[in-house]
Amino acid sequence: MKVVEAFRQVAEDQQGILLEWMQRLAEGEYELLQRLGVDYTHRQSELLLGEYVAMLEKDPDTFQLKEEELIVKLVDELSMHLLRQGVTPHAFKPYMYALKGVIARRLKQHPDTDIDNLFDGYMVLDTMMNKIMYYYYESYISRREQVIQSQAMAIQELSTPVIQVWTGILVLPLVGAVDTQRAKVVMENLLAEIVRTKSPHVIIDITGVPIVDTGVAERLIKTVDAARLVGAECVLTGIRPEVAQTLVMLGVDLSGITTKATLQHSLSYLLDKQREQSEQSDAAPREKSV
Amino acid sequence: MQVPILKMNDVLIVTLGNEITDEEAIRIKQDILVKIQDTGCEGLLLDISVVDLIDSFMGRVLNEIAEMARLMGCRTAISGMSPQVAITMIELGLKLEGVYTALTVERGFDWLRNT
């Protein structure tokens, strides 16, 4: 095949292509080059060019990029680097197109080139480049997904801390909007923590909840009821004046829940209660023995 | 399934296991009530720490046992409910009002004897 032959001859001057490519990158303002640095880009580009040139000799219809370990590794590494540097995903495209331009021009200048094999050659260049491009975007997106997922998990963990402040007393500081999904996570976490630490008392602090409407109130009541079922009593605190007004205006019935003004009040109330209970259970056996 | 009903001081202790059928639940209910009458105990402690699934029927039976025991002058505490069971109960709208729920058998026992 003539095209393959022409490519082979063009590719013999790999160093020349690399230099021209790098020169182009340096002349134009390429985001990728600026972010990754000249040395790193040069090194990676050399490897990438070698792989790309080798690809050009293969049949574009049957070529499977994912089976080529080396180039997959190269593109993966590049996409990871770009992601870490906070570069837009599109920075890769002009960088690769610059290379395609260099090779296409050299192909055109080749003495055996006529219009037919220039076209064929260009098609091969294009198809192979697209394969790399597709893979790059796939790799970039899947990496980004991973980042997003781990961040979502981190946020979820951060958003539902349950703190043991005293023997048998847990504090659940709620911050931010309490939607159905989050309320469920909060409830599960809280119940698990109650059972794990064997804490009979819980303080729910809603100072950080911006809007408390009937939905939020209902979720809070559910959480309190569920906590009661596993054997823990809840004290609600941090109800701001406007929240109190809204709740009463909406007719939300919170009469079954103990409420205290501040976290401090709640804590001293629960400590008193614990003292009372321990005195009682100390007193009981004596009562019997008398 | 035969469920043992233990008497300790003035408290009856019943441990409910997994996979209790509806018929068994009704029989356990009757056994408990008869035992209350026989012993004249004033406290009933139901431990459900090994139960990891409660359906609406079982939830209702628990409520009924507590209510019936109350009529016979016996207070009821339920201990050791697991988080999953608690969430299911809340979703079913079964709040077990009028029943004392305790984290552990020990706490339930203390409550029945002291308050």
* Integer angstrom CA distances of residue A221 from A101, A159, B78: 66, 19, 20
Across the interface, of B103, B113, B114, the residue whose CB is closest to A230 is: B103
B90 neighbourhood in chain A, CB within 8 Å: 222, 225-226, 229
**Joined tokens for residue A56:** 């050009």
CB contact under 8 A, A229 and B101: yes
Selected residue with higher pLDDT from A165 and A30 = A165
Q: What are the backbone dihedrals phi and psi of residue A20, each rounded to the nearest 5 degrees, phi first?
A: -65, -40
Identity of residue B4:
P
pLDDT in tens, A14-46: 888 888 888 888 888 787 777 888 888 888 888
The pLDDT, as a whole number, for residue A286 is 46
CB contact under 8 A, A231 and B96: no
Confidence class of residue A2 from pLDDT cuts 50, 70 and 90? low
* Integer angstrom CA distances of residue A247 from A176, A177, A218, A227, B67: 18, 16, 11, 22, 32
* Distance, CA of A157 to CA of A185 (rounded, Å): 9
CB contact under 8 A, A226 and B103: no
**Joined tokens for residue A83:** 């992601």
CB contact under 8 A, A229 and B103: no
Most confident of A3-12, A50-59, A105-114, B66-75: B66-75
CB contact under 8 A, A231 and B82: no
Give the mean model confidence (pLDDT) for residues A90-111: 85
* Distance, CA of B111 to CA of A16 (rounded, Å): 88
Q: Record the pTM.
A: 0.63
pLDDT in tens, B11-43: 999 999 888 888 888 999 999 999 999 998 889
CB contact under 8 A, B79 and A280: no
Confidence class of residue A290 from pLDDT cuts 50, 70 and 90? very low
* Distance, CA of A146 to CA of B107 (rounded, Å): 45
Across the strands, what pairs with B14? Answer: B5, B46
Across the interface, of A187, A195, A280, the residue whose CB is closest to B87 is: A187
Confidence class of residue A83 from pLDDT cuts 50, 70 and 90? confident
Tell me the shortest Cα–Cα distance from A98 to chain B, in angstroms.
59
Instruction: List own/partner pairs for A60-68 with CB under 8 A and 24 or more apart.
Output: A60/A123, A60/A124, A60/A127, A60/A128, A60/A131, A63/A128, A63/A131, A65/A131, A65/A132, A65/A134, A65/A135, A66/A135
Across the interface, of B81, B85, B114, the residue whose CB is closest to A280 is: B114
Question: What is the complex's ipTM, to 2 decimals?
Answer: 0.83
CB contact under 8 A, A231 and B83: no
Instruction: Find the closest chain A residue to B87 by CA distance.
Output: A226
Across the interface, of B101, B107, B115, the residue whose CB is closest to A228 is: B101
pLDDT in tens, B61-90: 888 999 999 999 899 999 999 999 999 888
Q: How many CB pairs under 8 A join A and B?
A: 64
CB contact under 8 A, A230 and B107: no
**Joined tokens for residue B114:** 């002291």
Residues 6+ apart with CB under 8 A from A143: A79, A80, A83
